[in-house]
Copies of this chain bind each other. A is one copy, B any other.
């Protein structure tokens, strides 16, 4: 990109995409902390200080990436909810896509369900907002199930959080276990729906 060319909004967000993509790869490989802005700059072949024309801080890169990822997941969930009428099957499908999404983008998963208290407040709020948006999608499916009399009355916010958070557990075990990811998901949902009691 020549020096004096003014970027269109399109191009700007294209550039941000390039940066986050390269950054995520590095984060996945060596971790957020250990990835330096210099390395990211090198990966996208620009001067380090140019990165700061697109992102205010290093933190903002990861926040932006997670934001985008979760928003995409929320859209996907909404679509599933619109198409699938059985609440049980709907939850299963949403969780399945969540897990797939997770697998493809592990570094995002790590940020998905945890609150990062060391981030600046601005970033915390941005993340909380988008996370809640996603959980609300899940929560409304549960509420529908309750309204339809299929699920019993429960704290939907808590239940949604539990279900979404469970995906973390699966992701953690999955890479150190021979059990299939899908089998674990099935068992997790079985527990969520029916519990472990006989």
Chain A residues within CB distance 8 Å of chain B? 30-34, 88, 107, 110-111, 113-118, 142, 145, 149-152, 154-155, 157-159, 161-162, 165-166, 168-170, 172-173, 177, 179, 184, 187-188, 190-198
Contact = CB atoms under 8 A, between A and B. Distances in A.
Contacts of A150: 197-198
A149 B118 CA distance: 45
A110 B127 CA distance: 15
A127 to B, nearest CB: 12
7 contacts: A34-B118, A111-B114, A111-B118, A152-B198, A158-B187, A192-B195, A193-B196
A97 to B, nearest CB: 20
A8 B13 CA distance: 60
A166 B173 contact: no
B198 A195 contact: no
Contacts of A197: 88, 150-152, 193-194
A154 to B, nearest CB: 6
Contact of A117 (B31, B115, B157, B177): B31
A184 B166 contact: no
Given A114-B113, A118-B32, A166-B162, A196 B187 contact: no
Given A107-B117, A166-B162, A193-B197, A179 B152 contact: no
Contact of A151 (B142, B151, B168, B196): B196
Given A115-B31, A158-B173, A161-B172, A192 B184 contact: no
A162 B30 CA distance: 27
A179 to B, nearest CB: 7
Given A162-B166, A184-B158, A198-B152, A115 B191 contact: no
